[in-house]
Structure 1
Amino acid sequence: MEDWLLHLVALAASILVTLLLSSLLKPSRPRKTASLPFPPGPRSLPVVGPLFALLRRGRSNFDVDQLLRRLRRLHSRHGPILSVRRLSSSRPAVFIADRVLAHRALVARGAEFADRPPASGSSAVLSSNQRSISSAPYGPLWRALRRNLAAELLHPSRLRAHSPARRWALDLLVRDLGTESSGGAAAAVVVMESFQFAMFCLLVLMCFGERLPDEQIRRIESLQRELLSNFISFSVLAVYPKITRLLFRGRWKKLMEIRRKQEETFVPLIDARRNDLLLLRRRRSEEDGFVYSYVDSLVDLEIPVDGGRKLTDGEIVSLCSEFLSAGTDTTATSLQWIMANLVKQPDVQTKLYEEIERVVEKDAAVREEDLQRMPYLKAVVLEGLRRHPPGHFVLPHAVTEEAEFEGYRIPKGAAVNFAVAEIGWDGAVWTEPMEFRPERFLEGGEGDGVDITGGREIRMMPFGAGRRICPGMGLALLHLEYFVANLVKEFEWKPAAEGEEVDMTEKFEFTVVMKTPLRVIILPRKRT
């Protein structure tokens, strides 16, 4: 072990020397921002500090709480904008934890801060070299991909067309929860797996346009889960990729194997939609069962690069994987946090149930058109997203060209990170911000009329803000409101044991989840 560590230290030292020599020998170009300092930040030893950061990044049991605590300490010492030097880049990573500064960057100067850092390692492989919506550089490719998703799948008319799919996924979830809880009069249920599977079934149908057999859905879900569960351990492959591919050969091999399985699984489904698309379009006017899918839009799409070419199969696989992961885990995670708070605060659950009963007939499910008449439901969902955003940071932004910001130099390509959780917990905006209190979003409350897009001002930003705001925000809100309302109408949610507290400790996976998955007793509501 010691020989391996010494070898790695020597390797890191040689890399550092090479970088220093190359920077000294590179001809300098005068820049307006060249005389400005980077944002303040901690000092680190030139080799040993970043080296151990490299080793820690490769650990699968990454401690997000420790990282967040350290960042809070750094912000208290250096201010709301700071930079951290990284071994993997000559550019620092910038962290912004102030809502006013976030608005200045993401909205007031949105075009400048709308780029993405260069991808390498696993990110480059899984995004087909930055040809997905979340990873694409700011420009014509990104605009084409995002416009396609917004217009072809997330347009209100398309969303209404998928109402039967949501009802089907809800029936699956209610049946699954009912089966799980039928083991006794007070059998406790761990609900997260059921949440994830129902959401995944819904997203698979929206993506591929077909109700696939359960076995096939489980196979796709297992593949996506394997990818996300290795998300942290794969991140080390972005640190000097040519070197870490050799040092961590097992991880690189596993990454490539997952990608191969993705293509083997997705491409036949893509080909089936491509080959049958003309037939399906003819059937659209004849059969109500036709569901226009995300894949349908992608096989038709022409992108404004390379002469307006079609997307490759690999690029469509990356876009489908992005759609499934982003739409499943964030929604399932938020749903679990919201239901956990309803268990922890039965008075909030009762108030929500009473609102649902006033709007919806006794034996009927909550319909999508009913949601607009439920202000307390919307308040519960917004408070869940404010208090427990599924990601504590938005995906890293980058400036399109080296820029000055608040008197500091932001290099082109540097990762600029915005602290979603810290902004949503700002005590200057929210009273007792760590408390779950939906009433703050009702009329007259401090959150009344809050703009979660951040256009006017940023007070919370669970979906980001500015030009890179999550395009699926409307879909996510619809799914959360729809599933929360129906789950509360169908079941009474209670702690797993009398007097047992719900553990609200956070744990970082692909999203920030409950460290102890929610375990509850769910009782069917009595019909009168």
Structure 2
Amino acid sequence: MDSFVLYSLLSAVFLFFVFVILRKRHRVRLPPGPKPWPIIGNLPHMGPMPHQGLAAMAKVYGPLMHLRLGFVDVVVAASASVAAQFLKVHDSNFSSRPPNAGAKYVAYNYQDLVFAPYGPRWRLLRKISSVHLFSGKALDDFKHVRQEEIRVLVRALVNEKTKVNLGQLLNVCTVNALGRVMMGKRVFGDGRGGADPQADEFKSMVVELMQLAGVFNIGDFIPALEWLDLQGVQGKMKKLHQRFDRFLSGILEEHKIKAGEGDRKVKHTDLLSTLISLEDADGEGGKLTDTEIKALLLNMFTAGTDTSSSTVEWAMAELIRHPTIMARVRSELDSVVGQDRLVADLDLSNLTYFQAVIKETFRLHPSTPLSLPRMASDSCEINGYHIPKGATLLVDVWAIARDPNEWNEPLEFRPERFLPGGEKPNADVRGNDFEVIPFGAGRRICAGMSLGLRMVQLLTATLVHAFDWDLADGLLPEKLNMEEAFGLTLQRAAPLMVHPKPRLSQQAY
């Protein structure tokens, strides 16, 4: 065993020096960046919070940087103008994903939508998701589901007499709303909206996935060392995949059994029934398989739930910390909605100041602070610098949203910046304005953006409108912990513990 380890290390050293010699022979003008260490490159420079570490480096080396992580060229975009070059001007060249352990060991070996190589299969999966789950018609058809699950959450909060972990209950709500759309039933709980041990276990699985996916795995950047799994990441991913696969296989088999017992001519009423029907139908990329269906479900239940619930948790934390802003939002809600009913989807477009609050939340707390990596299909030139073929692209969404060249007082929570007369009154979070791109941009923009936006808006508006909020244990708002936790998604380091107090007329609940 020791001889194998020694051989692998010697091989890595040899390949490193070959790499350096070849690089010197073919000198090109790469973007600036910190000097890499031997073999491991700039991995030590990433720090415990990569999105923050890269933002700090960008202040020194500029918004377009080159790093070498192991043997992999990495380019970083840390300003709106540079991000636009990659995701708009050169979008087609950066539409594939680089190899990574998460896609291999968790996401069914690249058979999902998020990590699938750009091509016919990816287009098929994207089309299925866009048409059947995230289209305007689909969102309208299932708006009653979102409103019903939010009402379940509201009733649970009304009946709660002790402090609550808001993020925990939000996660149950978002998972059940998505579950009813996808499978026609709730995933967790008995419909009363309270905490559920299975839901807690599921959330822990999602958080673990995001934490593991956020690790810069040495094996991804030094292939000769992949088999050693020096950080233990791959082993943890394999075990986590088994847990997810049991969960998803159970859902799929149960649905197939129920479909077999019913009338096969009945119109499909949920996404999973539609996906199962596509196993026997040829499309642009061929038939769907059970594995691809489970991989799609994995995407939806991970990327489509925890991101929304954590964004709402950040929004509520900011509003509790800023009572003047909270009061203005609540006044607008009372004016538009009144105090005899809960907020509905149709109200959202009439809430101008509230929409600015949501945009400001997405700016300061983007659910994915460091974009999922993309890969250069061919070499190209950006801002006069050479970008090598095969280079990995990272867009630091978090750094862009806090760029002092784009935003006045960027660390302050100021919704007014998105109102008429503010600095960015027309800024859109849907990938068109690169100063704030919480869902990414270009071909690989988040497929569930429209659903995520509606869920975040409706949940946050309802919580602000329906309840007064006190922090647990007498904590003062100005003392609230706003630190971030490590991971692919932007979780709070400390959960938001609160006491909700109903403020509407009894008939509203």
TM-score range, shorter chain: 0.7 to 0.9
- Secondary structure at the residue paired with 1:92? strand
Q: Does 1:194 align with 2:177?
A: no
Offset from partner CA, 1:100-152 (integer Å, 9 cap, x none) = 11112211222122222123x33212222222222122222222111111111
Instruction: Pick closer, same or farther for the CA change 1:462–1:506 going to 2, 3 Å.
Output: same
- The corresponding residue for 2:61 is 78
Q: Give the AA of the match of 1:63.
A: P
**Superposition map of 1:261-340 within 5 A:** 261-274=243-256, 276-277=258-259, 279=262, 282-284=265-267, 291-294=269-272, 296-297=274-275, 299-300=277-278, 308-340=285-317
Deviation at 1:379, TM superposition (A): 0.9
Instruction: Give the Cα–Cα distance (whole angstroms) in 2 for the partners of residues 312 and 515 of structure 1.
Output: 38
* Alignment map for 1:244-263 (pairs within 5 Å): 244-248=226-230, 251-263=233-245
Q: Could you tell me whether the CA contact under 8 Å between 1:302 and 1:309 is conserved in 2? A: no
* Residue 197 of structure 1, CA deviation: 1.7
What is the CA–CA distance in structure 2 between the aligned matches of 1:448 and 1:246, rounded to whole Å? 52
Q: Map of 1:125-140 to 2, 5 A cutoff?
A: 125-140=105-120
**Cα 1:234/1:261, change in 2 over 3 Å:** farther
Matches within 5 A, 1:415-430: 415-430=392-407
Contact 2:51–2:398 (Cα < 8 Å) also in 1: no
The match for 1:154 among 134, 143, 147 is 134
CA distance in 2, matches of 1:445, 1:281: 56
1:523 matched to which residue of 2? 501
SS of the residue corresponding to residue 468 of structure 1 reads coil
Does the 8 Å CA contact 1:114/1:138 hold for their aligned counterparts? yes
- Report the equivalent of 1:287: none
The residue that corresponds to 1:38 in the other structure is 30
Distance 1:124 1:160 in 2: 35
Superimposed CA distance per residue, residues 419-466 of structure 1 (whole angstroms, 9 cap, x where no aligned partner): 1112112223322111111122122322211132343x4221111112
Bigger Cα displacement from structure 2, 355-364 vs 477-486: 355-364
Residue 113 of structure 1: which of 94, 100, 103 is its match?
A: 94
CA–CA separation in structure 2 for the residues paired with 1:116 and 1:323: 19
Does the 8 A contact of 2:171 with 2:203 survive in 1? no
**Deviation digits for residues 386-418 of structure 1, max 9, x if unmatched?**
111122211112222122222222222221111
String of CA shifts for 1:204-235, please: whole Å, max 9, x gaps: 22232323452765665554444345445694
User: What's 1:514 paired with?
Assistant: 492
CA contact (8 A) 1:12 1:47 kept: no
Is the CA contact 2:96–2:375 (under 8 Å) kept in the aligned structure 1?
yes
Deviation at 1:155, TM superposition (A): 1.1
CA distance in 2, matches of 1:319, 1:246: 30
**In 2, are the aligned partners of 1:141 and 1:303 still within 8 Å (CA)?**
no
Aligned to 1:227: 209
Identity of aligned residues (%): 28
Q: State the AA in 1 paired with 2:85.
A: R
Q: Deviations over 1:293-338 (max 9, x none)?
A: 2562365168989x95322222221211111111111111111110
More displaced stretch, 401-410 vs 234-243: 234-243
CA distance in 1, matches of 2:494, 2:463: 21
Kindly state the Cα deviation for residue 172 of structure 1 after the two structures are TM-superposed: 3.0
Instruction: Describe how 1:459-474 pairs up with structure 2 within 5 A.
Output: 459-474=435-450
Q: Secondary structure at the match of 1:522?
A: strand
Separation in 2 of the partners of 1:97 and 1:208? 39
Matches within 5 A, 1:431-470: 431-455=408-432, 457-470=433-446
CA deviations 1:173-223 (Å, max 9, x no partner) are 22333344x03xxxx433111111211222222232323452765665554
Distance 2:99 2:393 in 1: 12
1:423/1:163 Cα in 2 relative to 1: closer, same or farther (>3 Å)?
A: same
Label 1:382 to 1:247 Cα distance change in 2 as closer, same or farther (>3 A). closer
The residue that corresponds to 1:31 in the other structure is none
SS at match of 2:381: strand
Preserved CA contact (<8 Å) 1:366 1:486:
yes
1:81 offset after TM fit, Å? 0.9
Q: SS of 1:164's equivalent? A: helix
| Partner secondary structure for residue 92 of structure 2 | coil
Change (3 A) 1:164 1:315: same
Matched residue, 2:470? 494
Is the Cα–Cα contact under 8 Å of residues 115 and 137 in structure 1 kept in the other structure?
yes
Q: Which is further off, 418-427 or 271-280?
A: 271-280
Q: Find the partner of 1:377 among 354, 369, 375.
A: 354
Q: What is the rounded CA distance, in whole Å, between the counterparts of 1:46 and 1:242 in structure 2?
A: 15
Amino acid corresponding to residue 146 of structure 1 in structure 2: R
Residue 472 of structure 1, CA deviation: 1.4
SS at match of 2:93: coil
Aligned residue in 1 for 2:148: 168
- Identify the residue that residue 180 of structure 2 maps to in structure 1: 205
> SS where residue 506 of structure 1 aligns?
coil
Of 221-230 and 364-373, the range deviating more from structure 2: 221-230
Confirm or deny: 8 A CA contact 2:212 2:487 kept in the other structure: no
CA distance change for structure 1 residues 280 and 375 in 2, over 3 Å: closer, same or farther?
farther
Closer, same or farther: CA 40–299 of 1 in aligned 2, 3 Å: farther
Q: Deviation digits for residues 224-272 of structure 1, max 9, x if unmatched?
A: 4443454456945535467444445965444333323332332232234
**1:453–1:466 CA contact under 8 A, matched in 2:** no
- The one-character-per-residue Cα deviations of 1:60-117 (angstroms, maximum 9, x if unpaired) are xx721xx445423432332211111112xx3311111121111122112221222221
Structure 2 distance, partners of 1:190, 1:308, is 44
Structure 2 CA distance, aligned partners of 1:445 and 1:222? 40
Contact preservation (8 Å) 2:366, 2:397: yes
Can you give the 5+ residue segments of structure 1 that lack an aligned partner in the other structure?
Answer: 29-33, 285-289
Distance 1:115 1:250, change over 3 A: closer
Q: Distance in 1 between matches of 2:475 and 2:36?
A: 50
Contact 1:150 1:471 in 2 (8 A): yes
- DSSP 3-state at the match of 2:459: helix
Q: What is the rounded CA distance, in whole Å, between the counterparts of 2:53 and 2:186 in structure 1? A: 46
Contact 1:85 1:92 in 2 (8 A): yes
**Which residue type is aligned with residue 240 of structure 2?**
I
**Given the two structures, how large is their TM-score scaled by the length of structure 1?**
0.84
Contact 1:122 / 1:234 at 8 angstroms: preserved in 2? no
